Amino acid sequence: MSGMGESGFDGFMDTYRRTGLVFESGEGAQLTAVDGRSYLDFASGIGVSSLGHGHPRLAAALGAQAARLIHVSNYYNTPVAMAAARELCAATGFDAVFFGNSGAEANEGGIKLARKHGSSKSPDRTTIVTLVNSFHGRTLAALTATGQEKFHKHFGPFPAGFAYVPADDLAALDAAIDGKTAGLIIEPIQGEGGVYPLSVAYMKRAETLCRERGALLICDEVQCGMGRTGAVLASTAAGIRPDVVLVAKGLGGGVPIGAVLARGEAATVLGKGDHGSTFGGNPLATAAARVVLSELAREGFLESVARVGELIMDGIRSWKHPLVREVRGRGLMIGAVITAKPDRVKELCAEEGLLVLTAGDDVIRLLPPLILTESQAMKGLGFLKKALDRAFAES
């Protein structure tokens, strides 16, 4: 592989299982490594580079904004941040937004909002309920909210006031949401947990239970939001109206930005001094978000995400491949449950020229840029098929 630092000290803390690939540039759904080899990108970071690489409008907007103004503190407003806030609320149907810099921070903001809302009604209404196999980020409260033990190891003690229920289990949810629940956080499609879409019936019941019992319904759409599933928000497409939605990953097309969106009463919970972020909503990041929002609004853009996603899912299913047990997801958020080691298949995909991700213990996860064309989808499918065939031959 073309990387440096696979063996020797390269100055980074050793927190990532890196592949050894070193990328220098990209164009559309294509990435080029320092050795000149190019790869079709079915990962887009981790569902971040929603407009692909080297997007001309995004690059131009960032260049122009950088020349005009990169930063002022949140004691001041900027036209670009104001426009982004207005456009994000309009695109999602929410009333107010708080901008941060990442998905974990969006979750932290959602947790704080729910705690203030709950405790103002009753002092012990502070519990945050989340799902087993969820992923909400690496900061301590978001990590505590994450319902996967493997991420918790080494990092306790954890903040109190979190409870976990298995996904899609109505009885467990009914038992967990009570007068002490400040909020329920769900990912409409669990991402890191294995590309697992919650059933619509479950999400609707979760909404009803939260409403009846005074808890806030929070959807973590950091991965499945911002057009990823062929809808601006997966929760809206499922027909539910959460009080709070958290977005990040794809929102800035690669530029770090996250957001807490709230509607109705929830939109007025956080007041002066309650929350803040030095970098949150800075002119550069919000300029990027504006470009992403305007691309999502282009005629046929979201329809294309849905169509190309179906094409990929149908394609994989049509192979009836001996290693593939199930294909699930929506739009360009796709998981293939396989019986081979996902890391090995990912490695073989890279050898073929395709970048993919894994999720959970047994899932190959595809999160291509939302601009992926049908012919790129077909080309990627060809690489994936070859990789699976090679993995099967090894087994």
Ligand X SMILES: *Cc1c(COP(=O)(O)O)cnc(C)c1O
Site residues (vs ligand X, CB under 6 A): 102-104, 107, 135-137, 187, 191-192, 220, 222-223, 248-249
How far is 145 from 115, CA to CA, in rounded Å? 13
Distance, in Å, from the CA atom of 16 to the CA atom of 146, rounded to the nearest integer, reads: 19
Alpha carbons 35 and 53: distance in angstroms, whole number: 18
Do 140 and 159 touch, CB atoms closer than 8 A? yes
- Closest to ligand X by CB, 137 or 230: 137
Nearer to ligand X, 79 or 159 (CB): 159
Ramachandran quadrant class, 206 (left: phi over 0; alpha: psi -120 to 50; beta: rest): alpha
In whole angstroms, give the CA distance from residue 61 to residue 285.
Answer: 10
CA 341, chain centre distance (Å) = 23
In the bound state with ligand X, the residue whose beta carbon lies nearer, of 97 and 387, is 97
Minimum distance from residue 67 beta carbon to ligand X (Å): 27
In angstroms, how far is CA 149 from the centroid of its own chain?
Answer: 20
CB of 238 to ligand X, least distance (A): 15
Query: Based on the number of CB atoms within 10 Å of its own CB, is 245 exposed (0-12), middle (13-18) or buried (19 or more)?
Result: buried
Min dist CB 223 to ligand X, Å, is 3
Return all residues near 171 (Cβ < 8 A) that are at least 6 apart. Answer: none
Q: Which is nearer to ligand X, 366 or 391 (by Cβ)?
A: 366
- Cα-based distances in Å from 68 to 78, 170, 283, 351: 11, 52, 9, 43
Which lies closer to ligand X via its Cβ, residue 230 or residue 250? 250
Q: Who's near 43: CB < 8 A, 6+ residues apart?
A: 355, 356, 357, 366, 367, 368
Residue nearest to ligand X (CB): 103
Amino acid identity of residue 376, one-letter, is: Q
d(CA 188, CA 196): 8
Q: Choose between 104 and 269: whose C-beta lies nearer to ligand X.
A: 104
Radius of gyration of the chain (CA): 21
* Whether residue 157 has a cis bond before it, omega within 30° of 0: yes
Pairing type for strands 363-366 and 244-247 reads unpaired
Closest to ligand X by CB, 137 or 376? 137
Instruction: Report, in Å, the least distance between residue 234 CB and ligand X.
Output: 11
Comparison of 65 and 223: residue with beta carbon closer to ligand X: 223
| Residue 42 or 383 with smaller CB distance to ligand X | 42
